[in-house]
Amino acid sequence: MSFADVLKLAADLLGDDLRLESQAKMTDFKRKSAERELKENSDNAPPNSRLFIVCGKEITEDDFRDAFEAHGTVEKVEIHRDKKGESKGIAYIKFSKTSEAALAIEQLNGRCIGDHPRPLKVLIANNRDQANCRNEKEDERLLRLFVVVAKDQLEADLKEYFNTFGAVQYVNIVKDRETRLSKGFAYIKYYRLVHAAKAFETCDRSYKPVFADPRPPKCDDLHLTNGFSSRSNSDSSRQEGCCVLTVVCSPAVNEDQLWRLFDLIPGLDYTELRRVDPRNNRSVGTAVYTSFRAASYAKKKLHGFEYPPGERLIVKFDNSDQNLQHHYTPPPSYHHPPPHSYPQDLKSLADTIAQATSLIKAANLNDNSNCHYNYDPSYCSIALPAPQPLAPMDSVVAERLFVVCTPSPPPIYAVKDVFGRFGSLIDFYFLNGKRCGYALFSQAESANEAISSLNGQEICGARMKVMLAEPSKGNHSE
């Protein structure tokens, strides 16, 4: 055999090996694709039986099973974990029936399980082949059924039958526009997801029920959903992030307190504390709402709100984070009142103030029943007057004080509390990376009293040098 024949034989053998390897890879790919498709089909059947949970990172699979198995058969619990194996605070729970998942939402959404203080956020998970829409119209997908009916069937009879599964909001038999005769199908809208689920599961099979797709939004709804994008081109950038708020708050605020505060505004999906800025001694978090209107209302009501007392929240739209699109739908509409019925005042914030008071107590700032702080040299070297509210953020600055701390600045919440006790304090801030800062007052008398009382004194062990600041350049209020 010549050398050329040997090379040809080797090439043929190598070619056979490559073909076999390619065929094996293709077979393995098809097998994995079939397994993935089977898993997705099992997760999606029956529809709306898989829940998306936003929860505390300490909750275990046993905690989930103890709480959720009381409402039905739990087929699977998936806790999403990071590379270190720690929970991300996200889980999926699969029920055997749609009605069981619906009941679990009603009973456990907003509740705490086990000994964990953070309430759960329980939602219907989107199927993997569905878009992650945050439009409020998407709620109808969970509450409306599409059914096949006899062409001579009346809406009253249809409503009477489906009312046996729960209160029906409306029945709409679709009719031809010209002849006004029935087309042989109808929509059934329920108030509660659990009633829609029971009707889907147990109604006569001749109706061939399916969960209806949401109705296409009207033009006005599109403008609202897109952040009024038709009004200006610059607003179109809010289409993806218009429901996302960035929150800058005190580092003493934990994730559960942030959730409770922003959940006062109807339509909250979830909150998350992302990082702490050590230079400014502030925490940065995120609040995600189901609609632009809810997010806008939350920004309006909570931007500048003092939580805890003496610490203003900074709330603004976040259009930069495109990674906040999760595989779930908003909760059913019965959990939230319609937008026009949002509370015009935040009476519920009384509970929040109570939490803030507890937070201050935990920071070793002792108070008595008369709302005066006891003399505590470890906190401030002088006896302090009673706490006073901060002046509105848009107040005109009547006097600025320049404050230098030695050897290092004390906690910002303590400085704001101390300076705020002399009244009319608008804000206090430290310069980045410096041990000096400015106190802004709306009344010169309060500023002068702060100078005479605090100059040379100590706050949390830091000696304060307090003096009038040089006039700021330009005529503005900082």
User: pLDDT-based confidence at 139, cuts 50/70/90?
Assistant: low
CA distance 230 to 226: 8
CA distance 229 to 204: 45
In 3D space, the residue among 424, 422, 432 whose CA is nearest the CA of residue 457 turns out to be: 422
Least confident of 237-251, 278-292, 405-419: 237-251
CA distance 250 to 471: 29
Per the listing, tokens 């590379």 go with 83
CB-side exposure of 257: number of CA atoms within 13 Å?
Answer: 20
In 3D space, the residue among 349, 463, 357, 366 whose CA is nearest the CA of residue 409 turns out to be: 463
DSSP strand pairing (182-190 vs 314-317): unpaired
Q: Are 453 and 445 in contact (CB under 8 A)?
A: no
CA distance 105 to 68: 10
β-sheet with 87-95: strand ranges across: 74-81, 87-95, 50-54, 121-124
In 3D space, the residue among 246, 366, 228 whose CA is nearest the CA of residue 316 turns out to be: 246
Per the listing, tokens 């400085």 go with 415
Query: Per-residue pLDDT tens for 180-195?
Result: 899 899 999 998 888 9
Measuring CA to CA, how many Å separate 35 from each of 30, 38, 130, 325? 9, 5, 20, 26
In 10 A of CB 193, how many CB atoms?
26
User: pLDDT-based confidence at 249, cuts 50/70/90?
Assistant: confident
Tokens of 6: 């040997």
Residue 123 vs residue 337, higher pLDDT: 123
Percent of the chain with pLDDT over 70: 68
Buried b (16+ CB within 10 A) or exposed e, 367-405: eeeeeebeeeeebbbeebeebeebbeeebebbbbbebeb
User: Residue 132 pLDDT > 50, yes or no?
Assistant: no
3-state secondary structure of 433: coil
CA distance 329 to 291: 12
CA distance 397 to 446: 12
pLDDT at 36: 60
Domains, the chain, ordered by start: 50-124 (3.30.70.330), 136-211 (3.30.70.330), 222-352 (3.30.70.330), 367-478 (3.30.70.330)
User: Residue 454 pLDDT > 80, yes or no?
Assistant: yes
In 10 A of CB 319, how many CB atoms?
16
Q: What is the mean pLDDT of the chain?
A: 75
The alpha helices in 188-229, defined as continuous H runs, are: 193-202, 219-225
Tell me the β-bridge partners of 306.
312
User: Mean pLDDT throughout 167-189?
Assistant: 89
Query: Per-residue pLDDT tens for 408-435?
Result: 888 887 888 889 889 999 988 888 778 8
Query: Per-residue pLDDT tens for 284-340?
Result: 888 888 888 888 888 888 888 877 777 788 898 876 544 444 433 444 433 333 433
Residue 113 vs residue 35, higher pLDDT: 113
Predicted TM-score (pTM) of the model is 0.41
CA distance 234 to 228: 10
Tokens of 95: 């029920």
User: Mean pLDDT throughout 237-249?
Assistant: 67
